[in-house]
Chain A
Amino acid sequence: MNSAVRLRVEGIGKTFRRRNKPAVEALRDIDMTIAEGEFVSIVGASGSGKSTLLRIIDGLIPASEGRILVDGRIVDQPGPDRAVVFQQDSLLPWKTVIDNVGYGLSLAGMPTRDAHRIAQRFIDIAGLGGFEHHYPHQLSGGMRQRVNVARALAVNPKILLLDEPFAALDAQTREIMQTELLSIWQETRKTVLLITHQIDEAVFLSDRVIVFSARPGTIREEIAVPLPRPRTLELKRSQAFVGLVDRIWKLIEAEVRAGLKQG
């Protein structure tokens, strides 16, 4: 694997200050790097600021402290080098699948014909062939998330940021989407940062899992996942896999339970 650093997160801190309310420190002293072509996941209890970090990396919200570097260059705005797959439905309901997948390209000024040609390629990769002219409301949740993934890939980003992309799906669909994401990743060799609260999802997909602690979010531990690739769902039953999941669960269990009591 290439060891060039693609994404560097340096001393990121984020405090939300709102009028008439106490300031909330969401993130503190986050330092991490992701190598080119690496698949890294962040897991943590809710309230650990993991989605906030993803938004800062994408440039959607500013950091209070620290900086983000992509290939050594500071970024503080959204750019074509990063693309996000959001958790919820963020597809435009009045556009067809092919127009949604080509949306980022059209925004960048690409003529529709070219945008559609590129979109078609990622529609095929995402297994959406035949649904080009369907509208999002005509598709299942899993299909819509495929469109979301294809839309992010179509702009050819260096880094793919996934914000709990399968959280809204049922367990069976989620497992299938995980294997499909792996094969897409194998094919495109993108650098991926995945935010998830599903520990088994993080271990199954990643080269490395970063465990966050909550309030404020800090890095508790980084755990390498030395499981062989290509991976199949069989792996989830192996001793090594279960051991890793268990180890990560023990790291965040106390906080998850505390979060339950807070409601």
Chain B
Amino acid sequence: MRRLYDFLEQDTRTASLARIAISVVAVLLIWQVVSMVVTNRLLLVPPADVAAALVHEVVDGAMWTNATATVTAVVTSFVVSVAIGVAIGLALASSRMLSLTGGPVLSALNSVPIIALAPLFIAWLGLGFTSKFVLVILVAVFPVVVTTEAGLRATDPQLVEAARSFNARPMQIFTTVTFPYALPFIVSGVRVAWARALVGIVVAEFFGSFAGFGFAILSASQTFDTARVLGYVIMLGAMGLIGSVLFASLERRLAPWRQE
């Protein structure tokens, strides 16, 4: 047992894959046990049924259609929201005035449940790509804005002073000190933004689309096909997990000194 702990605590790829595997297996086990107690198949289906439903979706091609729709929309909107978030964070960090006047508006917007406005966006922008794009950006942009500004402001003044003593121009201070210092902060915001973007895309697809995971979940639940609902939810969970693992390892790569 002791050896297992030591192994799992390691900061290696094998150890982190093992951690993921153990927690996935644990969830599947609990799920299996609960579904043997709860026998109403409208409420809960066992993991094997969900797997069968997923296989069926792949075979008849629905999975491919839905995955293409969701992944295209969420990745595009996510990339754009990271770009916008970093740009706004830069502006806020470089201007005290902007930060003081724009900050309250941003934190108000951040606490508003923008997700709830999804029907409104669809009324404004139609059922196509644009409404999803805008909704995902609005929910995903804030964590990036906040961490970018915080990261840029957190820069160690010692490092800036040392750069200045070596004659660094303001732009060089930004590229060699301030921005590299802020990068791991920004990536942690990006990690949160990815999770939010996934929620945003599903809700947008609930209200207005003819393909995508959100659309598939909604139509499956309307026909009480619980296995299919859970199958698509698992797909979303997998996307979330992959993103989280990827950005966490990027964060570690960018800031190895924080481990110590």
Contacts and interface: CB of A to CB of B under 8 A. Distances in A.
Interface of A: 58, 60, 78-80, 82-84, 86, 88-94, 103-104, 106-108, 135-137, 155
Contact of A90 (B159, B167, B257): B159
B3 to A, nearest CB: 27
Contacts, number: 57
**The 8 A-B residue pairs with the shortest CB-CB distance in the complex, in nearest-first order:** A90-B162, A137-B257, A93-B257, A104-B166, A84-B165, A90-B158, A107-B168, A137-B260
B255 to A, nearest CB: 7
Contacts of B158: 86, 88-90
A72 B178 CA distance: 35
Q: Chain B's interface: helix, strand, loop or mixed, by majority? A: helix
B165 A135 contact: no
A60 B158 CA distance: 12
B254 interface: yes
A136 B161 CA distance: 18
A86 B161 CA distance: 9
B177 interface: yes
Interface string B107-125: 0000000000000000000
Contact of B180 (A82, A94, A107, A108): A94
A106 B165 CA distance: 14
A104 B256 CA distance: 23
Interface centre among B158, B162, B168, B254 (most CB of A within 10 A): B162
A84 B176 CA distance: 18
Nearest to A80: B167
B254 A94 contact: yes
B257 A78 contact: no
B251 to A, nearest CB: 13
Interface string B170-213: 00100011001000000000000000000000000000000000
B41 to A, nearest CB: 54
Nearest to B184: A94
Given A92-B176, A92-B180, A108 B161 contact: no
